[in-house]
Amino acid sequence: MSITSALVLFAVIWFMVFFIVLPLRLTTQGEAGEIVPGTHASAPADAQIKKRAKITTVVAFFLWAIIAGTLVSGYFSVRDIDWFHRMSTPEVSR
């Protein structure tokens, strides 16, 4: 796995985890009773983005280490998930 592949894999995992972490323990403005004019009642009262980004980074790094380690070890390869045998070596006819 090249450095670029590792960074792209980490970015994809990070954003997936971030979108999972965002709505957890979210207090909306409607629940808090302080709705700012021009916003929806379902808008977050205090998003705590910095805290959520730190949690996301820790979880994403842990998941990335497991996935990247599995890919680098060679335990699984792309050919293992080739269910339709499209990647088989073509027969050379003479």
pLDDT over 80 at 89, yes or no: no
Q: Where are the alpha helices (DSSP H) in the chain?
A: 3-21, 29-32, 49-73
pLDDT grade, residue 77 (50/70/90)? confident
Residue 50 or 2, more confident:
50
In the beta sheet, which residues pair with residue 28?
44
User: C-alpha dihedral over 5, 78, 13, 2, to 10 degrees?
Assistant: -10
Cα–Cα distance measured from residue 11 to residue 17, given in angstroms and rounded to the nearest whole number? 10
- Reported pTM: 0.77
Q: What is the pLDDT of residues 9-51, one digit of tens each?
A: 999 999 999 999 999 998 899 998 889 999 999 899 988 999 9
